[in-house]
Amino acid sequence: MCKRVYLEKAGCNRRQLDLEKIRSYLEENGYTLAQSPKTADLILLGTCAFKEKEEDESVVRLRALRKYDKQILVYGCLPDIAKEK
C-alpha cells in the first residue's frame, strides 16, 4: 500500500477545495504527504479543462510529472473533457 502521496493542482482554482478535502482525508487515514513528486509513492493531480488555457496547463503538468515514473491519479475536468490528451 502506498503511504507517501504528493498532491498538486493544475488549471483552475476550483480544484483547491478538492485538494484540501483530499489532504485532510489522507492525513486522517495514516498517509504521509510528500513534499515533492520524487519522494512520493503516488501522485494526485487535480486538473481543469474548462478553458483551453487551463486544459493546456493541466496537460503540461501531467507530462512533467510522468518523468518521476510514479503512479499518477488524475482527477477533475481533464479526464472527462479531454480524455484523449
pLDDT tens track for 12-36: 777 788 889 999 999 999 999 999 9
Rounded distance, CA 48 to CA 61, Å? 11
pLDDT at 82: 73
Residue type, 54: E
pLDDT at 10: 85
Q: Which residues of the chain have pLDDT under 50?
A: none
Residue 43 phi, psi dihedral angles, 5° rounding: -115, 125
pLDDT at 6: 97
pLDDT at 44: 95
Beta strands in 1-84 (DSSP E): 4-9, 32-33, 42-47, 71-76
